[in-house]
């Protein structure tokens, strides 16, 4: 169904998303400190179907990167130079008709080592200027406070989020944003994909596997500190700006049982509980769920609680549930019987009923409708899709166009399912497609894995003019927004 009267609420927040660590550049500029994202390197020999070795950051790689001044080898240090192109980029998003613009404020641009008592004013001034551009076009800013960008000094000095002291440092960072930007921002997200603390630990919590002999314990203790920090800043946000809303966010790993065998169904139940619901149960229901007692016992995890933690989690829960959705996976009691494929943040098992992207991510629009119903039935809070899109190798044709019909097809099918979910009764408040422009890939640091409505002339080695060009999907999305989701037709 591509043409219909709009099902979407009249104030539906259509937009797109980016992250500071994948777009800004401005590395070392105006006081910005080194972030964990600056350790991510591009590897031309990367195996797109097996990113595990690329995700494993070692102490050796960290130490080498910290002393390496090169920027091209570390693509997130230059991003797409949003730091100098933000006015043009925001104007292009406004031309598409965006109602909301999702971006993150890099912690190390405001507190370079994370430990300072006062913020870097030049960093605040940059985000003042970004907000001014967003406001100029009547868009709502949606600000992610932590998007895999913690100062690397917190890793070397505190072992990342395993140290409870980081709660106080993060709260200082967030309070600085709330007081400085005050009423200019209504929608906030505490942690991008907080469940990445289990699947991509270094960039999410700063835990380094070869630095600990209790890796799983440290993963969950670090996430516990993030839960407490999220509750604390939610409390402070509501005190500072009662109209503002704090979202929690997960990477939604939607998964199906490989067969109707009860063993596969139980595996799906556990995967769903441990990989998804644990995080949103704590941040929306306000308490650790009972099923985690079994998991912690079976994995020798003993969370260290401080006085007041339980009350904080119970009292200051998230106002809405944000999530990223790219693909779906399979759960099997006998995973070795199925072929593997790659997926966001971790590997998955192949679903014979689904096509995959060139990076192996399984494309499942109906899985989005299932996910929306599943999450809304469980939590009855507003839902916000803050990442959805397809990474692909886009090419500029001789006539200077970029015919990304596969991206239009992907988005059209997913938006159709969003429409169905709304008819199913789901309260969906917004959609920020990943990503507004082509940016440096989070998992692989490639530029060639392109997601944007806007093509950016830069290759995997950081060469290019950085010129911005409108893809076919730019014009398509412009029409989708103008019709409030009623007209999804290709031409």
Show the tokens assigned to 13. Answer: 């927040």
Least distance between ligand BGP and beta carbon 4 (Å):
30
Q: Contacts with ligand BGP in 66-95 (CB under 6 A)?
A: none
* Closest CB to ligand BGP among residues 176, 444: 444
What per-residue string of b and e applies to 380-409 under the rule 16 or more CB within 10 Å gives b? ebbbbbbbbbbbbebeeeeeeebebeebbe
From the list 24, 140, 387, 446, the catalytic residue is: 387
Least distance between ligand BGP and beta carbon 294 (Å):
27
> Which of these segments, 5-13, 134-142, 293-301, 434-442, binds ligand BGP (CB under 6 A)?
434-442
Least distance between ligand BGP and beta carbon 477 (Å):
18
Strands 254-257 and 100-104: unpaired
User: Is 442 among the residues that bind ligand BGP (CB under 6 A)?
Assistant: yes
Least distance between ligand BGP and beta carbon 332 (Å):
24
Show the tokens assigned to 147. Answer: 């998007």
> Which of these segments, 1-9, 124-132, 442-450, 452-460, binds ligand BGP (CB under 6 A)?
442-450
> Which of these segments, 29-37, 60-68, 182-190, 436-444, binds ligand BGP (CB under 6 A)?
436-444
Least distance between ligand BGP and beta carbon 16 (Å):
12
Least distance between ligand BGP and beta carbon 249 (Å):
8
387 catalytic per annotation: yes
Q: Contacts with ligand BGP in 374-413 (CB under 6 A)?
A: 387, 391
User: CB count, 10 Å around CB of 469?
Assistant: 17
* Closest CB to ligand BGP among residues 148, 158: 148
d(CA 421, CA 413): 13
Among residues 197, 443, 452, 462, the one that binds ligand BGP under rule CB under 6 A? 443
Among residues 316, 449, 450, 470, the one that binds ligand BGP under rule CB under 6 A? 449
DSSP bridge pairs for 450: 392
Q: Who contacts 23 (Cβ-Cβ below 8 Å, separation ≥6)? A: 79, 80, 82, 103, 437, 439, 440
60 catalytic per annotation: no
From the list 140, 193, 420, 446, the catalytic residue is: 193
* Closest CB to ligand BGP among residues 114, 391: 391
* Closest CB to ligand BGP among residues 22, 255: 22
> Which of these segments, 132-140, 228-236, 406-414, 439-447, binds ligand BGP (CB under 6 A)?
439-447
Interface mask (CB under 6 A) for ligand BGP, residues 171-210, using x and -?
---------------------xx-----------------
Least distance between ligand BGP and beta carbon 415 (Å):
18
User: Is 275 among the residues that bind ligand BGP (CB under 6 A)?
Assistant: no
User: Is 344 among the residues that bind ligand BGP (CB under 6 A)?
Assistant: yes
Axis-axis angle for helices 82-96, 472-482 (nearest 10): 50
Among residues 190, 201, 324, 436, the one that binds ligand BGP under rule CB under 6 A? 324
Least distance between ligand BGP and beta carbon 136 (Å):
26
Show the tokens assigned to 210. Answer: 């070869």
* Closest CB to ligand BGP among residues 201, 332: 201
Least distance between ligand BGP and beta carbon 52 (Å):
13
* Closest CB to ligand BGP among residues 162, 192: 192
> Which of these segments, 5-13, 38-46, 59-67, 437-445, binds ligand BGP (CB under 6 A)?
437-445
Q: Contacts with ligand BGP in 15-34 (CB under 6 A)?
A: 19, 22
Give Rg (Cα) of the chain.
Answer: 21
Q: Contacts with ligand BGP in 248-267 (CB under 6 A)?
A: 251
* Closest CB to ligand BGP among residues 252, 316: 252
Q: Which of 321, 327, 286, 324 is nearest to 428 (CA)?
A: 321
Which residues are part of the catalytic machinery?
193, 387
Binding site for ligand BGP (CB under 6 A): 19, 22, 192-193, 251, 324, 344-345, 387, 391, 434, 441-444, 449
């Amino acid at each position: 169904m591509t043409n219909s009267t709009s099902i979407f609420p009249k104030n539906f927040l259509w937009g797109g998303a980016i992250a500071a660590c994948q777009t800004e550049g401005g590395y070392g500029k105006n006081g910005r400190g080194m972030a964990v994202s600056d350790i991510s390197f591009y590897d031309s020999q990367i195996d797109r179907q097996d990113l595990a070795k690329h995700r494993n950051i070692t102490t050796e790689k960290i130490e080498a990167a910290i002393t390496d001044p090169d920027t091209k080898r570390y693509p997130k240090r230059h991003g797409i130079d949003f730091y100098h192109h933000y006015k043009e980029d925001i104007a292009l998003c406004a031309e598409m008709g965006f109602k909301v613009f999702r971006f993150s404020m890099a912690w190390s641009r405001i507190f370079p080592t994370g430990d300072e008592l006062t913020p870097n004013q030049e960093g605040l001034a940059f985000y003042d200027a970004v907000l001014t551009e967003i406001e100029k076009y009547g868009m709502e800013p949606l600000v992610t406070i932590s998007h895999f960008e913690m100062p690397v000094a917190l890793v070397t000095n505190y072992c990342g989020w395993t140290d409870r002291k980081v709660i106080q440092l993060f709260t200082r960072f967030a309070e600085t944003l709330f007081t400085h930007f005050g009423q200019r921002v209504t929608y906030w997200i505490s942690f991008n994909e907080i469940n990445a603390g289990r699947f991509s630990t270094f960039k999410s919590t700063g835990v380094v596997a070869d630095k600990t002999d209790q890796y799983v314990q440290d993963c969950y203790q670090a996430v516990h500190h993030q839960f407490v920090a999220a509750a604390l800043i939610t409390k402070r946000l509501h005190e500072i700006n009662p109209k503002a809303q704090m979202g929690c966010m997960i990477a939604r790993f939607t998964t199906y049982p490989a067969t109707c065998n009860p063993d596969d169904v139980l595996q799906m139940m556990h995967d769903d509980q441990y990989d998804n619901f644990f995080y949103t149960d704590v941040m929306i229901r306000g308490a650790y769920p009972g099923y985690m007692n079994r998991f912690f016992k079976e994995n020798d995890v003993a969370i260290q609680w401080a006085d007041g933690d339980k009350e904080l989690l119970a009292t200051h829960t998230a106002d809405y549930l944000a999530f990223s959705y790219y693909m779906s996976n399979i759960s099997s009691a006998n995973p070795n019987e199925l072929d593997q494929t790659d997926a966001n943040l971790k590997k998955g098992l192949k679903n014979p009923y689904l096509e995959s992207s060139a990076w192996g991510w399984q494309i499942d629009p109906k899985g989005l409708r299932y996910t929306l119903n599943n999450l809304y039935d469980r939590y009855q809070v507003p839902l916000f899709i803050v990442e959805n899109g397809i990474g692909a190798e886009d090419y500029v044709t001789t006539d200077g166009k970029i015919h990304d019909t596969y991206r239009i097809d992907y988005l059209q099918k997913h938006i159709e399912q969003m429409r169905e979910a709304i008819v199913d009764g789901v309260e969906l408040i917004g959609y920020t497609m990943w990503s507004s422009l082509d940016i440096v890939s989070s998992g692989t640091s490639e530029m060639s894995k392109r997601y944007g409505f806007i093509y950016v002339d830069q290759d995997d080695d950081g060469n290019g003019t950085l010129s911005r060009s409108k893809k076919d999907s730019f014009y398509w999305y412009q029409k989708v927004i103008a019709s409030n989701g009623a007209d999804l037709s290709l031409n």
